[in-house]
Amino acid sequence: MRYAKPLEDLIEEFRKFPSIGPKSAQRMAFALLKKSPDQVSKFTRVVEDAKSQIAYCSQCFNLSSDQLCNICNDARRESSQICVIETVKDLMALERTHEYRGLYHVLGGVISPLDGISADDLNIQALISRVQALPDWTEIEIILAIGLSTEGEATMLYIKRLLENVIARNKSGEAIRIRVTRLAHGLPVGADLDYADEMTLTKALEARVLA
């Protein structure tokens, strides 16, 4: 049995979202049809407003309704720290920890030649320009918080090599020391060693600390 064409079209649009299969798309379509006309109009208006009003922060490429996002606009954030991440979702994950108080820089992905993504397709050059424009510090820290994959490792290595050649000076003319760090990788809390893969165990050994 086939659904009416408008319903099939609605289901097909929902299926275009990431991780949404046929059954989930059907449930979402039926749920939307159960809403009142006013609720549907509000839903449509909210989607249109989000699409028209949300853009990328001109400094860190976070999503924002203003030229600068609320993090870049927060004078309480530690501006001598910039955490480099792949996506805005990674930014939100780090913010949920309430531990990091520095700034961010969203790359928009990782270098992946097989997917046709080169360094020029990412916000890497904007990061370099941003580092060169930091005038008030004698030392800054760039934290590479990119996923532990072949592409992620290659991207971090590429950025690290670029930063090694960056010459930045503060307002006093002093050279700014650029310290590049990366997140430690290891065993999750509660994990058993026999369930961990070789790369996770290797990174856990490399990131070991005093007991």
What is this structure's pTM?
0.82
> 61 CB contacts (<8 Å, ≥6 apart)?
105, 106, 107, 108, 123, 126
Domain boundaries, the chain: 5-53, 77-206
Q: How far apart are alpha carbons 57 and 68 in whole angstroms?
A: 5
For residue 190 the two structure tokens come to 């509660």
The CATH class, in words, for 77-206 is: alpha beta
Distance between CA atoms of 72 and 143, rounded to whole angstroms?
16
Tokens of 115: 């997917």
Give the end-to-end CA distance of the chain in Å, rounded to a whole number. 64
CA angle 151, 126, 71 (to 5 degrees): 95
Tens place of pLDDT per residue across the chain (211 aa): 688 999 999 999 999 999 999 999 999 999 999 999 999 999 999 999 999 999 999 999 999 999 999 999 999 999 999 999 999 999 999 999 888 999 999 999 999 999 999 999 999 999 999 988 876 778 899 999 998 788 999 999 999 999 988 877 767 777 788 999 988 777 676 666 677 777 777 777 777 656 5
pLDDT of the residue at 209: 59
CATH superfamily of 5-53: RecR Domain 1 (1.10.8.420)
